[in-house]
Amino acid sequence: MRFTLYFLVAIIFAMADEGSYFFEPFTESFGKRIKVEKLYYQGKTKYQFVQCFYNKFLGKVLFLDKRIQSAQIDEYIYHESLVHPALITHPSPREVLVIGGGEGATIREVLRHSTVEKVIMVDIDSELVELCQKYLPEWSEGAFSDPKTSLIFEDARPFVKKTREKFDVIISDLTEPIEHGPSVFLFTEEFFSINFEALKEDGLFVLQAGSADPSYNQFFCSLVKTLEKVFPLVRPYWTFVLSFSMPWGFVLASKTKDPLDLDEKDIAQRMRERSVQKLKYYHPGFHQSYFALPLYLVKNLKQGKVLTDNKPFIWKL
């Protein structure tokens, strides 16, 4: 009853209204308030509850199922961190698959690499992508209309399983797995194995892995443990995202290439050769630092659990 009451209260406080304060719950004991200066959209797609509004500090903000996804003030930190460590690690990424990424910022960053000839984005929610193009065009910067981009609206799992294409890099930019959400079975050993088969011999897989704070890093640590069951080389990394109010985790899994083998000169050379420009966060001197984890994460990685279709991870508010 206590959890049910909390959940109902969270829904009420999470409704956006101009001039009011939007409440985002993280736990029963912690949450944050964000003032809604201007409401752009609030409604339910077939798959998730979408809210988009403006805040004077954060700029435009996107929430899905009451969880913040992107804020104008720092979305580049998240998206550059998700994309560039993996693409720079690959010697010549040409075919890239993006799973999720409805705002379009992930494919925006992929297209900065001149070696990329094709990027396929697979997202289950076409309504969300349309809303992002309408209200958040600053995120995609025209990436959706780039001739190298192909959009496919379907469940990523059957798409990856049936595709005959092989990719250099697969990027998973999915919402976290909440009960009845569209992403629950896209963070399991079975799904990661499907992605492994869809990669070329020197391919890399990278995903956003949730919070990496001291108390709620179980998802992050379990993803590392699960990917280690599938890939021969797994490198977890992290950075701080202001709008999330916490450190955020990512995991790079590779068949052969190690991101730690690259030094600053190697990275700078690859960025020059590919004409990677106009970045605001990632740079050659920062690459190695992503992978230096704090001691609490190093210890907790040992406690991660292998996630399977029978025992997936489900976030609960």
Q: Which residues are catalytic?
A: 173
Token look-up 């409401």 returns: 39
Dihedral-angle region of residue 46 (phi above 0 means left; psi in -120 to 50 means alpha; beta otherwise):
alpha
Q: How many CB atoms lie within 10 A of CB 278?
A: 7
Contact 97, 296 (CB under 8 A): no
**Backbone torsions φ then ψ of 300, nearest 5 degrees:** -75, -20
| Cα 15 from Cα 301, distance rounded (Å) | 36
Q: Got the DSSP string for 224-251?
A: HHHHHTT-SEEEEEEEEEGGGTEEEEEE
Contact 230, 196 (CB under 8 A): yes
| Cα 47 from Cα 177, distance rounded (Å) | 13
Beta bridge partners of 60: 54
What is the token pair recorded at 215? 């108390």
**Backbone torsions φ then ψ of 65, nearest 5 degrees:** 50, 45
Q: Strand 49-55 to strand 59-64: parallel, antiparallel, or no bridges (unpaired)?
A: antiparallel
CA 88 to chain centre: 17
| Cα 90 from Cα 78, distance rounded (Å) | 20
What is the token pair recorded at 125? 């929610």
Q: In degrees, to the nearest 5, what angle opens at C-alpha 288 toward C-alphas 287 and 294?
A: 120
In single-letter form, the type of residue at position 206 comes to V
